Amino acid sequence: MNPVVGLDIAKGESQVQMFLDKKIPYKNSVKIKHTVEGLKELHSYLLDLERQTGLKPPVVLESTGHYHTPVVQFLNSEGYLSCAF
C-alpha cells in the first residue's frame, strides 16, 4: 500500500481525502477547520489511516497564499511529510 492524504485548502478550513493506494479512497472526505480542535481531528484521521496501512502517510496540499501555513506547521510538528503545490 502507498497511503496518501490530499488536502484542498481554503480560508479557515480544508477538505480532506485519504487514500489507501492510487485511486483507492479510504472513507469519505471530511472538512476540518484550521483551529486547534480541527487540527486534532485531522491528526485522528491521519492516525486511523496509519493504523490501517502500517505506514505514516504523506500529505499533499495546495499552496494557497498563507491559508495553508497553520496546517503545514501542525503536520511538521507531528512528523508528517507534507508537499505543497
Q: Are strands 24-33 and 59-61 parallel, antiparallel or unpaired?
A: unpaired
> pLDDT band for position 64 (50/70/90)?
confident
Average pLDDT over residues 12-26: 97
The stretch 31-44 carries a mean pLDDT of: 98
Averaged pLDDT, 55-77 = 93
pTM for the complete prediction? 0.93
d(CA 34, CA 69): 10
Where does the pLDDT of residue 47 fall: very low under 50, low under 70, confident under 90, or very high at 90 and above?
very high
More confident residue, 84 or 56: 56
Q: What average pLDDT does range 19-42 have in this prediction?
A: 97
Domain ranges of the chain: 4-84
Please give the CATH number for the structural domain made up of 4-84: 3.30.420.40
